């Protein structure tokens, strides 16, 4: 696996692939890699001529500086994992290599950045789109691969791509879970043994919503699942909502494409998850 730390070196290497119209697959990450990330690389390998992964802990998407500081950084381990799945290229830049001084950014996301995660974490998705736009411009991928666990993020990035007319396919891949259903996340390492057990309530709640969906109304499901989570040990619920898959508008009965989304704190660790309702 080749490792590049500067825009110039990476762009020079990729130029021959761009000239030959090779399919470049891109997996952007913030490191602390787990099997969920590796599954994205493996999917990209199956659909691309060359796979580029980036590791960059993006400061503009953190509202709380303390959260940025404590975000896990495991570069040596991450590189070993990427080599195991035969990733071709790793882009590993410093902040100054990604952002120039006094760089500003705003994109109108038609309200997608103001609900759910956007409401809980103001400016988060402006930071996400800012860094993804920069990385897309550097790498110029044919396809970019993201996990469904960050469902709202996937919608936001697709909205940015559509709005700016970027020629990159946004590929959303299924959430990878532990054996007990907990969605794999870099933040899981912060959970104590008891918190880890308590955290399984999130997926149990989402499965409950799926099971109730054929026979109960949206309002009944929302009430039941919310009560379940509020009475689950160690769970501090931030939101549970059933939304339209494309707009994230709060769902009403009769809609065909819906997604159930949840966010909660387990101890000091904030977790999110979602499932599609069909």
What whole-number distance in Å separates Cα of residue 239 and Cα of residue 14? 42
Residue 121: HSE in the Cβ half-sphere, 13 Å Cα cutoff = 21
Active-site positions read 37
267 φψ region: left (φ > 0), alpha (ψ -120 to 50), beta (else): left
> Can you give the three-state secondary structure of 174-226, one letter per residue?
CCCECCCCCECCHHHHHCCHHHHHHCHHHHHHHHHHHHHCCCCCHHHHHHHHH
Tokens representing 6 are: 């500067």
Residue 219 phi/psi, 5° resolution? -65, -40
- Helix and strand element counts for the chain (H, E): 11, 9
> Does the CA dihedral 160-163-167-170 come out positive or negative?
positive
- The closest of 29, 25, 32 to 71, measured between CA atoms, is 32
Are 185 and 262 contacting, i.e. CB atoms less than 8 angstroms apart? no
The Cα–Cα gap between 182 and 180 comes to 6
């Amino acid at each position: 696996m080749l490792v590049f730390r500067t825009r110039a070196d990476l762009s020079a290497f990729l130029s021959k692939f761009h000239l030959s119209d090779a399919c470049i697959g891109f997996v952007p990450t913030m490191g602390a890699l787990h099997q969920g990330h590796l599954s994205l690389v493996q999917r990209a390998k199956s659909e691309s001529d060359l796979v580029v992964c980036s590791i960059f802990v993006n400061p503009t998407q953190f509202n709380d500086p303390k959260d940025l500081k404590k975000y896990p950084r495991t570069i040596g381990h991450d590189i070993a994992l990427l080599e195991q799945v035969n990733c071709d290229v790793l882009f590993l830049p410093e902040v100054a290599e990604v952002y120039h001084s006094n760089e500003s950014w705003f994109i109108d996301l038609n309200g997608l950045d103001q609900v759910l995660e956007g409401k809980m974490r103001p400016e988060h998705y402006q930071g996400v789109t800012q860094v993804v736009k920069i990385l897309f411009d550097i790498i110029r991928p044919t396809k970019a691969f993201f996990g469904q666990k960050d469902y709202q993020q996937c919608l936001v990035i697709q909205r940015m791509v559509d709005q700016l007319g970027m020629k990159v396919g946004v590929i959303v891949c299924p959430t990878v879970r532990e054996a007990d259903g907990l969605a794999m996340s870099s933040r899981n390492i912060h959970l104590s043994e008891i918190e880890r057990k308590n955290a399984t309530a999130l997926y149990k709640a989402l499965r409950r919503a799926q099971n109730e969906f054929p026979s109960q109304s949206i309002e009944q499901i929302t009430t039941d699942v919310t009560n379940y989570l509020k009475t689950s040990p160690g769970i501090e619920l931030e939101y549970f909502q059933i939304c339209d898959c494309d707009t994230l508008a709060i769902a009403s009965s009769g809609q065909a494409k819906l997604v159930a989304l949840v966010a909660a704190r387990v101890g000091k660790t904030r977790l999110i998850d979602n499932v599609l309702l069909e």
